[in-house]
Structures are given as C-alpha cells and as structure tokens.
Amino acid sequence: MLTLTHISKSYGARGEVAALTDVSLGIGQGEFCAIVGASGCGKSTLLNIIGLLDRPDAGQVAFDRRVIDAGSRAEAARLRNELIGFVFQSFHLLPRLTAWQNAALPLQYRGVSRSDRRPRALEMLDQVGLKDRAEHLPSELSGGQSQRVALARALIGAPRLLLADEPTGSLDSASANDIMALLRRINREAGLTIVMVTHDRDLAARCDRRIELHDGQVVSAEAAA
C-alpha cells in the first residue's frame, strides 16, 4: 500500500539537523505498525511525511505504487482528505462543539449537509463505544472518551490509512489499554492500515510490526514479538 524510498529530511537554515537519513520502508494493506525509538530519533517526522504533512528533501513516497509529487500541495491535500485519518496525543477537539459535531467535522469540510452529518457521526461514535456521550462537550468527557471522539472523527471519512501520533500518551494505563484494544479491533475487523508512533514498547508489542528508528535511520522493521 505504502512505500517510502530513500527518504531524507533535514531542518535548519542550512539543513544542519538531520531528522531522517535514507529511510526506505514498505507498509502493506491491513498492517498495524508501531514506530518506536528514543525522543528526537525522527518518529514524528517520519509520520508527518507518511501523512503528507511534510515533504522530504530527498526520496519518494508512493501509495499503491503511485509516486506522490512532493512539490504539489494540492495533490497532497487531496490525498490526505481521501486516504488518511489522523489521531494525535492532544485530542484537538473544538471546545464549543459536542462530541457528534466534533466527529462530523470532516464531513462538514466536504460539504455534507447537517441532516446527513449527524446520523453518520452517531454511527461512528457508536462504533467507538461513545454514542451515549454524543451531546456532551469536550469539557464533559474524560481523556479516554475524548480520544474516542478524535478516533471517530479520523474514521468518519472512511480512510484507508490511519496515522496515530502517541494516541495513548496523555491517558492513564486503563484508558490507554482501552484505546489500544479499540485500534486493534478496528484494524482486524475493517482491515484498516494503522501506523502508530508510541513510546510504550508494551503497546508496540501488540502491533503486527515494530519499526525502530535510531538517529533518523530505520534499524529494525521486524514483526513484533
């Protein structure tokens, strides 16, 4: 599904800070992959490039063998909208919108009417076990519940790829386990490809494959134990 070939990325006025160096990687349809490594090793940079939020300095990103034009912001935005869902450590819920309104935001951006958005959002909240909190504001939700809303929002557009950046990082252990179990269920039942950045190696071990970075290079991409 996804292929990265000789990806490099540096930051700084003169490119003096190398975030990724010559990274080549393939991720198959339906895989659940964890990206692990020490802080500053390039995990988030790699996820941003996979998600077409950032452009590499060198190398190619391809979806279904179609190479993405790194210079075309319009194409990247279209593919993000059509193919990719995002979940972050900070839930990024809008505080004045209810749970279902937050979940429905991608449909609003696509021009779907309110009358059509609500039932689809309620269905998605039901899938993540939160339909009974549909009319609650984010301030009335726990961290785990807020992450479920964020997950419903990421899934409502039927993406083929879900990118999760430390999705359990701000949760207690029980809530983290619940979110991980939910991601695993969605991956298996829907065949959704998931790439997750995590510092928790116990959670990473529950994925199909663990991709380990060290100083901006992939040092291991083997099946999780």
pLDDT by 10s per residue, the chain, length 225: 999 999 999 998 777 789 999 999 999 999 999 999 998 899 999 999 999 999 999 999 998 888 887 678 888 888 888 899 999 989 999 999 999 999 999 998 888 898 899 999 999 999 999 999 999 999 999 999 999 999 999 999 999 999 999 999 989 999 999 999 999 999 999 999 999 999 888 999 999 999 999 999 999 888 865
Asked whether 158 and 167 are in contact (CB, 8 A), the reply is no
Domain assignment present for 119: yes
Domain assignment present for 18: no
Domain assignment present for 107: yes
Domain assignment present for 139: yes
What is the value of pTM for the model shown?
0.93
Domain assignment present for 15: no
**Looking at residue 126, which CATH number applies to its domain?**
3.40.50.300
Q: What is the pLDDT of residue 225?
A: 58
Domain assignment present for 101: yes
Structural domain count, the chain: 1
| Structural domain for 98, as ranges | 28-53+82-223
Domain assignment present for 209: yes
Q: How far apart are CA 131 and CA 90, in angstroms?
A: 21
Domain assignment present for 60: no
